[in-house]
């Protein structure tokens, strides 16, 4: 198949191609899905990049194993993957809490100074700190809705809850973030109006 045709193919079509023995389809799917899975896992795991990479690799492995038995038209591949990532992260967070209940906090500050000086980077880090202080389910719902750009019905499918429950979780999560980040208003340079 020509490369253009691969690039235009849906995630599901690529997964079916992979299931039929096409390794090129796996490469394209990895390019498309692994960054999204990694970003999502990183946010859920409080900025722990190494653990998020483990989760991403595990989630992608589960996707490969699922390929031959994939039932077309039932769920979007990305929705399925977000669900797996969400479950893997929740498991890890649960285990982490049994080891150290106070582990969650602001992410590490040991980044290169050139990056530290960027406003966006500061805001992203401040947001990550505030996300870490949210209950797990609110963090998952807010991250999916406002960072990953998922719709409420998609989030409902990923989290296996009703759309109303999603709306409630995202509303409460946003309110908590707005309160938590209020103290960073001056520091992050948008309190001069």
User: Can you give the binding site for other proteins, defined by CB under 8 A?
Assistant: 18, 21, 23, 26-27, 30, 34-36, 38-39, 42-43, 53, 56-57, 60-61, 64-65, 67-68, 119-124, 126-128, 130, 146-147, 149, 174-175, 177-179, 181-183, 185-186, 190-193
Q: How far is the CB of 100 from other proteins (least distance, A)?
A: 25
Find all residues with CB under 8 Å of 139, minimum gap 6, and list them.
43, 44, 131, 132, 173
Q: How many CB atoms lie within 10 A of CB 179?
A: 10
CA distances from 130 to 58, 65, 120, 121, 178 (A): 27, 35, 15, 14, 9
Closer by beta carbon to other proteins, 77 or else 177: 177
For residue 119, what is the enclosing H or E element? helix 119-132
Q: How far is the CB of 103 from other proteins (least distance, A)?
A: 21
Closer by beta carbon to other proteins, 21 or else 102: 21
Q: How far is the CB of 125 from other proteins (least distance, A)?
A: 9
Closer by beta carbon to other proteins, 36 or else 133: 36
Rounded Cα–Cα distance for residues 79 and 82 (Å): 5
Closer by beta carbon to other proteins, 10 or else 27: 27
Q: Give the 3-state secondary structure of residue 110.
A: coil
């Amino acid at each position: 198949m020509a490369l253009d045709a691969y690039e235009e193919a849906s995630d599901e079509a690529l997964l079916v191609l992979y299931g039929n023995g096409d390794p090129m389809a796996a490469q394209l799917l990895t390019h498309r899905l692994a960054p999204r899975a990694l970003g999502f896992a990183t946010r859920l795991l409080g900025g722990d990049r190494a653990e998020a990479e483990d989760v991403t690799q595990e989630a992608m492995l589960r996707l490969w194993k699922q390929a031959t038995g994939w039932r077309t038209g039932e769920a979007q591949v990305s929705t399925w993957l977000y669900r797996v990532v969400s479950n893997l992260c929740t498991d890890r967070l649960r285990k982490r809490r049994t080891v150290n209940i106070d582990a969650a906090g602001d992410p590490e500050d040991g980044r290169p100074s050139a990056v530290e000086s960027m406003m966006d980077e500061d805001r992203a880090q401040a947001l990550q700190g505030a996300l870490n202080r949210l209950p797990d389910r609110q963090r998952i719902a807010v991250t999916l809705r406002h960072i990953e750009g998922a719709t409420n019905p998609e989030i409902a499918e990923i989290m296996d809850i009703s759309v109303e429950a999603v709306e409630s979780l995202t509303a409460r999560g946003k309110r908590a973030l707005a309160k938590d980040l209020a103290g960073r208003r001056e520091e992050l340079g948008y309190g001069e109006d």
